[in-house]
Structure 1
């Protein structure tokens, strides 16, 4: 775990991203990306391009694939339907169940903000783990997390400095900073470690246990 912030306010709420942070959906997504590319007429991803794309920001990936902005909501809706049909093929990252249990046990509240659908997230989490999450704010647009973050803060009565947002992509860092929240990046998701380090989040997590330890030390 690498941290840049030592004197911040106590954490009262952790907001998690889902895909690539709690849910290990990367390989499944790669298995359907060609289907999406054919339907929505954007560039397919070759196996030898995957690592290169992991070193690009979210916006750079969209540009590389040649996806028009107006197609993004259509692709997102289609992808949510596919996830719903194939949720049984997607598993949580090892350590996710214990992560949610341990954070909930500290009294720190948990929210989920994702572009995925709430029904999909609940299916993949399962009833026991989904019950650890106090608020689901799902179905955000690809670059529309900041408004979701603000609504979560308002509903839960939190100030930005009391919140830690955790994700695995550059857009997660950008959105959290736009709202003024502390931001942590996990190094087991979609974006490459070097790319996330360059984004300079407040804390980098190398394993789920790092999140548990950080929240326990800063609540």
Structure 2
């Protein structure tokens, strides 16, 4: 029985694409990197392929992530939840699930966002320090909650989410409204792929 649902934040719960591109381009200009001009050209690329296309040295990635995260805080009011997400989270909580977030974004940014939107509904919010994968963060969360992989499900929008879940043995629901194209996601064999909030609810029944 599923007890805990782990969500990604950007691209899964909130539509932060335009803000993220704006902030990235500001940082790219500062460090003389290639700016994002057409996001559609990146959607079918892996994370490493995106770094290569944008000519981002891997050694600079932690610095860029840190600076982008700091600037993100000033743009929280420009970010909106995807349609139906607020209602989804409230309903899942009512159904008896524990809710958590693992994100490359900072815990403080995410908590402040939900505080501003009067939706303090997540018990645990964790930052994944490894931009390439979240398996360590997921394992840490399972250990702290004393849960087995079959008691957890993940909801995300990126290939790296799928790979992390497959390594650990937890099921994943991939949404088609996020950062990676649904075609790329399906090629990596998620347990479920959905195009609406209602489909998530149909996968997760009453748990009370």
1:153, 1:171 → 2: CA distance? 18
Correspondence for 2:169: 180
Write the distance in 1 (CA, Å) between the matches of 2:32 and 2:163: 28
Residue deviations 1:82-113 (CA, integer Å, cap 9, x gap): 11111111111111111111111111111100
What are structure 1's unaligned runs of at least 5 residues?
1-9
Q: How far apart are 1:40 and its partner, in Å?
A: 2.7
In 2 relative to 1, CA 206–218 (structure 1 residues): closer, same or farther, beyond 3 Å?
farther
Structure 1 stretch displaced more, 60-69 or 14-23:
60-69
Give the match for residue 85 of structure 2: 96
1:112 to 101, 117, 121: 101
Which residue, out of 188, 205, 209, partners 2:194?
205
Q: How many residues align?
A: 207
Equivalence for 2:37? 46
Q: CA deviation at 1:143?
A: 1.5
Equivalent residue, structure 2, for 1:20: 11
Aligned partner of residue 112 in structure 1, secondary structure: strand
Distance 1:99 1:140, change over 3 A: farther
Q: Which has the higher helix share?
A: 1
SS at match of 2:178: coil
Q: Is the 8 A contact 1:184 1:203 kept in 2?
A: yes
Higher RCO, Cα 8 Å, sep 6+: 1
Runs of 4+ displaced beyond 6 Å: none
- 1:168 maps to 2:161: no
Please say if residues 5 and 97 of structure 2, whose CA atoms lie closer than 8 Å, have aligned partners that are also in contact: yes
- Superposition deviation, residue 217 in structure 1: 6.8
Contact 2:133 2:160 in 1 (8 A): no
Partner of 1:146: 135
Conservation of the 8 A alpha-carbon contact between 1:185 and 1:201: yes
Q: Distance in 1 between matches of 2:15 and 2:109?
A: 13
Q: Does 2:18 align with 1:37?
A: no
TM-score (norm 1): 0.89
